[in-house]
Amino acid sequence: MKTWLACMLSGLLFATPLAWAGVEIRQEPVQFAKGASAATLTGKIKGDQIVAYRLHARAGQSMVASFKPSNRSAYFNILPPASDEAIFVGSTSGNRFKARLPADGEYTIRVYLMRNAARRHETARYTLEVGLAGGGQTAAAAADTSPAAGAPFDRTLELQGIRFHVTSANEGSLNTLRIIPAGLEIDNSPIVKTINGTVSGAAVADLNGDGSPEIYVYVTSAGSGSHGSLVAYAANRRKSLSPITLPPVTQDKAASKGYMGHDAFAVVERVLVQRFPVYRDGDTNARPTGGIRQLQYKLVPGEAGWMLKVDRMVEY
């Protein structure tokens, strides 16, 4: 199974695009030339202008989008069919997206300027390259976040002046995860943990808006189930780190109905999102038929640190 949303990272309160409500969005269909599976789009935006490129795709197809703006404050988001909740937020994930798509329908690629640049009426010229490939994959394949076999994970993430260097060899079923913080006022000691599986992604965010960031590391277990888990820490007033607890899906009767793994995690807008395929009675592990369930978590104080609590559950 291939990576689905390993690149998917968070949008933050201070770093989100201008709110869409009340803003005119120019709609543009994406059409490939006959026999082609990719297109190169060019455009220009100014201030709060937004361009929404619409593209029809099938579940399991791989979408690749590469964005080259003249203004560093210009980004793009990707929205799934019939939803305003982005599966990719460029302001924290960068200018390239590559993933297997979870559902059939019309996807939207929104190009915009960040709030501060929009208020200054800045201009951005851009080139957006979009392509589709493959198809016919199961929902489990579309929701899997496992990295390529044997690919090590090595990424440095930074927010609010605090950095996290996250590494894992990703070899075999057991691995050593290292999180090395920098910029904390008191304790920058490395965190070293043995994990059951491989690191499939990581994000830095400030979900509770307290001015101190958190680090979220996504782990995918070995085996056909590819169950997801989370290793996360919050900076305490920018001084040291405390663990963040995510209760297992199996502890929630409603959320766990039809759950058999193949999780995908992401931080989107100030919530942690967990997505997975839903299995009906009689489904095989490789062919779920119940669609996709999405759990949205908010970060709240716990008894001995922080915990993620389900705030909303949706299915599509």
Last residue of a domain, which of 117, 137, 157? 137
> From CA 92, how far away is CA 76, in angstroms rounded?
10
In a domain, 7, yes or no: no
Q: Are residues 164 and 291 in the same domain?
A: yes
Say yes or no to pLDDT of 135 above 60: no
> Is residue 6 in some structural domain?
no
3 occurs within a structural domain: no
Q: Based on the domain organization, do 277 and 295 belong to the same domain?
A: yes
User: Poorest-confidence range of 54-63, 96-105, 140-149?
Assistant: 140-149
- Of 122, 137, 152, the last residue of a domain is 137
In this structure, the number of other CB atoms found within 10 A of the CB of residue 169 comes to 16
Does residue 255 share a domain with residue 159? yes
pLDDT classification of 23: cutoffs 50, 70, 90 = low
Does the pLDDT of residue 45 top 70, yes or no? yes
Chain mean pLDDT for the chain = 83
Are residues 123 and 55 part of one domain? yes
Predicted confidence (pLDDT) per residue in 172-189, tens digit: 889 999 999 999 999 999
Whether 76 is covered by a domain: the verdict is: yes
| b/e code 172-190 from CB counts within 10 Å (16+ = b) | eeebebebebeebeeeeee
Identify the band that residue 20 occupies on the pLDDT scale cut at 50, 70 and 90. Answer: very low
User: Picking from 95-104, 206-215, 241-250, which range would have the lowest pLDDT averaged per residue?
Assistant: 95-104
Residue 18 binned pLDDT confidence (cut-offs 50, 70, 90): very low
Segment 30-39, tens digit of pLDDT: 988 888 889 9
What pTM does this model have? 0.60
Cβ atoms of residues 277 and 262 within 8 Å: yes
Q: Are 153 and 281 in the same domain? A: yes
Nearest to 107, CA basis, from 156, 61, 55, 63? 55
CATH number, position 91: 2.60.120.380
pLDDT above 70: percentage of residues in the chain: 86
Residue 239 has pLDDT above 90, yes or no: yes
Tell me: pLDDT of 9 over 80: no
* pLDDT band, residue 12 (cuts 50/70/90): very low
Are 151 and 215 members of one domain? yes
What is the tally of structural domains in the chain? 2
Same-domain status, 165 and 44: no
Average pLDDT over residues 157-182: 93
pLDDT digits (tens, 9 = 90+) for 76-111: 999 988 887 788 888 767 788 888 787 889 999 999
For residue 286, how many other CB atoms are within 10 A of its CB? Answer: 12
The sheet that has 62-69: what strands, in order across it? Answer: 38-46, 123-133, 62-69, 96-100
For the residues 63-79, what does the mean pLDDT come to? 92
pLDDT reported for residue 144: 40
Neighbouring CB atoms inside 10 A of 98's CB total: 15
Q: Has residue 8 been placed in a domain?
A: no
Q: Is 65 inside any structural domain?
A: yes
Q: What average pLDDT does this structure show over 10-30?
A: 57
CATH code for the domain of 269: 2.40.128.460
Domain boundary among 118, 137, 156: 137
- State whether 32 and 54 are in the same domain: yes
Q: What's the average model confidence in pLDDT over 248-272?
A: 87
Residue 176 shares a structural domain with residue 277: yes
User: Taking every pair of C-alpha atoms in the chain, what is the biggest distance, in angstroms?
Assistant: 60
- For residues 35 and 100, state if they share a domain: yes
> Looking at 12-87, which runs of residues are DSSP E strands?
25-29, 38-46, 50-57, 62-69, 74-79
179 and 87 inside one domain: no
Residue 223, amino acid: G
Position 138 scores a pLDDT of 40
In this structure, the answer to whether residues 150 and 267 fall within a common structural domain is yes
Q: Is residue 230 part of a domain?
A: yes
- Select the more confidently predicted residue: 190 or 286: 190
Let me know if residue 271 belongs to a domain: yes
Q: What proportions of the chain, in percent to the nearest 5, are helix, strand and coil?
A: 10, 50, 40
Percent of the chain predicted with pLDDT > 90: 46
Judged by DSSP in three states, 224 sits in coil
User: With 80 as the cut, is the pLDDT of residue 199 above it?
Assistant: yes
In this predicted structure, the answer to whether residue 10 has a pLDDT above a threshold of 60 is: no
Q: What is the pLDDT of residue 269?
A: 65
Q: Are residues 51 and 131 in contact, defined by beta-carbon separation less than 8 angstroms? A: no
Q: Range of 18's domain? A: 13-137
- The confidence score (pLDDT) of residue 233 equals 97
pLDDT for res 22 = 55
